[in-house]
Amino acid sequence: MLILEIIKYFANFICFYVFSAIQLILFITCTTLLCLGAMKGKNKTILSIFLSCVMVCISVPVVYAFANTEKQSYNSVVHAGGVLGNSVYLNSQEGFMFYANNGYSIIEIDFLYTSDKEIVGSHLFEHLPGFNLENRPTMKEFESAKLDGRYTGITYDWLIEELKMFPDIKVVFDSKEDDSIAILEDMVETAHQKDFAIESRMIVQVYSIENYNEIKNNPALNFTTFWFTNYKAKYTNFQIQE
């Protein structure tokens, strides 16, 4: 148990969940043995082993937390334009407006190209029946369709106009495009054509050290605020701290 607990904090997030699952299984096994031992009158030894395992599971995360003393506070972030009903990853106009009008100031949106290279808010086009990353809609198809049959998708032009109306809102950029730099360059160029400084209103999600450096060293991209996500790089906890 101790070895597993230590490995969790050196491993990437996938290993973290795998080892946590193993620990849960061991925890259930120990509990079962404790109950069986109690019924057979051998509970003292088993109880000691069980309590030791529990103390290890509790103490390592506590020590780790105290070792990381730097504290920061964050506002709530509305993920993928916000949840509406049972629908997630919507990136809908209705979701954006609902959360914007209810005091949320940071809204994450997923951005993709349509088949005719227009920028829209979408995770994987999963809310448009018949469309996906391999079969993308045109801009006309995207605008005329309804997400889950009732919601309206976010176009980049629409988003710019709404950001003008909500000066306190910042958007967190995310994209499942292979080339996130290209779509960022197009977003900046489009915004500037509309006399809008998107750089001051967007928090760019970066996926690795290399991705961050590529953006910072790109003269066409003058973003100053970044948000790191680990679902692509899969760094360990200690790599992230470095």
| pTM for the whole structure | 0.71
Structure tokens at 67: 């070792």
Q: What pLDDT is attached to residue 234?
A: 78
- One-letter identity of residue 51: L
Domain count, the chain: 2
Structure tokens at 46: 């088993």
Taking phi over 0 as left and psi of -120 to 50 as alpha, with beta for the rest, 16 belongs to alpha
Same domain, 112 and 166: yes
Same domain, 59 and 89: no
Same domain, 91 and 189: yes
Last residue of a domain, one of 10, 38, 67: 67
Q: What pLDDT is attached to residue 102?
A: 94
Q: What pLDDT is attached to residue 235?
A: 80
Provide φ and ψ at 198, rounded to 5°. Answer: -65, -25
Chain centroid to Cα 113, Å, comes to 20
Least confident among 38-42, 88-92, 153-157, 181-185: 38-42
β-partners of residue 154 are 121
What confidence tier does 86 reach under pLDDT thresholds 50, 70, 90? confident
What's the CA gap between 94 and 71, in Å, rounded?
A: 34
Mean pLDDT of 98-111: 96
Residue 34 has pLDDT above 70, yes or no: no
Of 189, 194, 182, 128, nearest in space to 157 by CA:
194
Instruction: Report yes or no on 222 lying in a domain.
Output: yes
Same domain, 61 and 124: no
The residue range of the domain holding 61 is 2-67
The CATH number for 142's domain is: 3.20.20.190
Same domain, 43 and 144: no
Q: How many Cβ atoms from other residues are within 10 Å of residue 237's Cβ?
A: 16
Same domain, 110 and 221: yes
